[in-house]
Structure 1
Amino acid sequence: MTKTALITGASRGLGAALAEALAPTHHIIAVAKTTGALEELDDRITAKGGSATLAPMDITNADAMATLCRGIFDRWNGLDLWCHTAIHAAPLAPADHIDSKDFSKSVTGNITATSTLITYISPLLGQSGHAVFFEDPQAGTKFFGSYGATKAAQIALAKSWQAETANTGPKVSILSPPPMPTATRARFYPGEDRTGLTTPAKAAADILAQL
């Protein structure tokens, strides 16, 4: 039976690279807001002989995610792997100038949605599945208030889940990918020399080797 991998945040960057790297061994369920980018990912996966189910939706829409998870259960009876790469990267700003709307989006996208997804996806993973989260330790770094605080909270949720399921499953991994030339990083470090950064494809290969 073909294994299944759910990638949240699959349209670009590390998420897309993981989807492509997993496609030879897994049916990919790709979630992202950008339909066009998902279709391009599907073309690349298909060209390599793989298969994907595209789910163009916002992870902050709890009803949509519940419907997706129900569909996964009905079609595949569960999941083998979940890689959560979706993130809301709020603009950099001093802590005393953080825009309230940006902060609210960060909380909703990085904390609330992650908590909801864990609730929905844990039963699909069961005892033998594997969930993977990705650290980006910017908490306390100047100008990273919104992103750093909410990303740290997301990882705190993952660490609690990891501790709670250590003896029962599913397995929960929290990994630290290297700096990559992604669109998110470009927003944080405009003008950076990107030649020395690790490509998402290389980072994905290294991550899967760890798993």
Structure 2
Amino acid sequence: MSTPILSDRPVIVITGASGGIGAALARHVAPTHGLSLVARRTAELTRVSDELTAAGGTPVLTITADVTNRSEVQRIVRETLARFGRIDAWVNNVGQGISRMPSELTDDDIDDMMRINVKSALYGMQEVLPHFKAAGRGHIVNVSSMLGRAPFALQRSAYSAAKHFLNALTANVRTEVQATHPEIQVSLISPGVVRTDFGLNARHGGIDSRQLPDSQSADEVAAVIAAVLIDRRPDVYTRTGSAARIAGLYASIGEDP
């Protein structure tokens, strides 16, 4: 086994790092961090890594893996520790949308949305936690969605439901872990529409997210995540006004008996 390249920089694992928000986040944190970049698409992942290393001095490990497979997530932990000797933060950034009305959803639709949007994050949290507990500190960041707060888009109903699940899971993992390890943070990030390939890559196809109104760039979202990696806030939207919008929605629904 090769000797780890021990880093005096904090080391971040970013899943879904071959493009979109993940690649943008890698660019934001590269000047100050060691990076373990994970994705299924080897060629695209290599291009991101080459760009960062060419920019100067950033230690980058690329791992081609499918994070919906627990054994692959375990391998990511092993390979990152073998290279750097440490993991300081883990960003669960894998997700996929869907274009299907709720009355038309199939078992496979639901299974895929849960596998990609929930299980990938669950595996990341569970597999990195032993290392964080041993270190006494760490940071998990789960990338959710405004649709995880409210069902704004009918055709995204199963995705919205999966992100609701992820939100609840994130909050409960945070509560459980911080009862014994208060220096381990579990943060939730909730973007709205982002100008990436997300819409085009949705199950059953979909509208190009770049054509939708009131969108953000991947770089804008990545800047918010990069800030959260520093200030460790537990729950953050990526656009001003989002918290008020969600609070107003919940104030308008549900009544006491």
TM score, norm. by length of structure 2: 0.74
Partner of 2:49: 42
Residues 98/69 of structure 1: CA separation in 2 closer, same or farther (3 Å cut) = same
1:162 aligned partner, one-letter code: R
2:72 aligned partner, one-letter code: A
Partner of 1:140: 151
1:157 aligned partner, one-letter code: L
Q: What is the deviation of 1:67?
A: 1.9
Identity among equivalent pairs (%) = 25
Q: Give the total of aligned pairs.
A: 210
When structure 1 is superposed on structure 2, of 182-191 and 156-165 the one drifting more is 182-191
* 8 Å CA contact 1:178, 1:203 repeated in 2: no
Structure 1 vs Structure 2 CA RMSD: 2.2
Residues 122/200 of structure 1: CA separation in 2 closer, same or farther (3 Å cut) = same
Partner of 1:72: 80
Partner of 2:172: 160
SS at match of 2:155: coil
SS at match of 1:30: strand
Residues 45/54 of structure 1: CA separation in 2 closer, same or farther (3 Å cut) = same
Q: What is the deviation of 1:39?
A: 0.8
* Aligned partner of 2:223 among 196, 205, 208: 205
Distance across 1 between alignment mates of 2:21 and 2:46: 16
* Aligned partner of 1:117 among 121, 124, 142: 124
Aligned pairs (5 A) from 1:18-97: 18-49=25-56, 50-89=58-97, 91-97=98-104
Residues 103/130 of structure 1: CA separation in 2 closer, same or farther (3 Å cut) = same
Could you tell me which runs of 5 or more consecutive residues in structure 2 were left unpaired when the two chains were aligned: 1-7, 231-257
Residues 111/135 of structure 1: CA separation in 2 closer, same or farther (3 Å cut) = closer
Partner of 1:173: 187
Residues 98/39 of structure 1: CA separation in 2 closer, same or farther (3 Å cut) = same
SS at match of 2:163: helix
Could you tell me which runs of 5 or more consecutive residues in structure 1 were left unpaired when the two chains were aligned: none
Does 1:3 find its partner at 2:45? Answer: no
Structure exhibiting the larger radius of gyration computed from Cα positions: 2
Residues 203/107 of structure 1: CA separation in 2 closer, same or farther (3 Å cut) = closer
* 1:157-177 alpha-carbon deviations (Å, 9 max, x no partner): 111111223352311111223
* 8 Å CA contact 2:99, 2:156 repeated in 1: yes
SS at match of 1:184: coil
* 8 Å CA contact 1:177, 1:207 repeated in 2: no
TM score, norm. by length of structure 1: 0.88
* Aligned partner of 1:130 among 122, 133, 139: 139
Q: What is the deviation of 1:60?
A: 1.2
Distance across 2 between alignment mates of 1:106 and 1:195: 24
